Amino acid sequence: MSHEYRKDPEAISRLSREQYQVTQEEGTEPPFNNAYWDNKEPGLYVDIVSGEPLFSSVNKYDSGTGWPSFTKPVEPENVVAVQDSSLGTIRTEVRSAHGDSHLGHVFDDGPAEAGGLRYCLNSAALRFIGRDDLEREGYGEYRRTFESSGSVE
């Protein structure tokens, strides 16, 4: 199934101030005070602007940072890495490929057994779709992600 994901001006107009600041102005939300840092529900995280699938709860882990952290994207082609020197140090920003939303940063201090990367994201850039809502929300093809992980009840 093919979807056309894009930067949607209508979706941007519906963003909260924080969501706009994070996705459109490269902002950062506070740690431990955001929607998904401690979300343990099975599901898919998509770009709040474009809807493109980004990360799965199967690859989410508690990094202790206060932001949702993942070891890898569910669709690598939907996540773009860009050099960021905005804080006087070199970091790697991650953006959505189609929505061009600022998502957060990727670091090389993730779990070694899962590849060593930590995608540290802003909840404000994401919309969470629970496993049981995937079909209804048009993401039914991602149900396989949870079936192969053994997390389907």
Interval 46-69: pLDDT, tens: 999 999 999 999 999 999 999 999
92 is catalytic: no
Please give the pLDDT value at position 1: 42
How many whole angstroms separate alpha carbon 34 and alpha carbon 56?
Answer: 18
Task: Find the catalytic residue in 120, 124, 126, 129.
Answer: 120
Per-residue model confidence (pLDDT) at position 152: 42
- H/E stretch holding 145: helix 143-148
pTM, 2 dp: 0.92
Q: How far apart are CA 105 and CA 55, in angstroms?
A: 14
Q: Please give the residue that has the higher pLDDT: either 115 or 150.
A: 115
Q: Cα–Cα distance between 133 and 34 in angstroms, integer?
A: 22
- State mean pLDDT over 105-122: 96
- Sorted by where each begins, the domain ranges of the chain are 9-135
**Digit-coded pLDDT (tens) for 11-32:** 999 999 999 999 999 999 999 9
Comparing C-alpha atoms, which of 65, 52, 68, 70 is closest to residue 111? 70
Helix (H, G, I), strand (E, B) or coil at 146: helix
| Separation of alpha carbons 53 and 71, rounded Å | 15
The class of domain 9-135 in CATH terms is mainly beta
How far the first Cα of the chain sits from its last, in Å, is 25
Q: What is the DSSP string of 1-62?
A: --------HHHHHT--HHHHHHHHH---PPTTSSSSTT--S-EEEEETTT--EEEEGGGEE-
Q: How high is the pLDDT of residue 148?
A: 58
Tens of pLDDT, residues 87-101: 678 889 999 999 999
- pLDDT of 149 reads 52
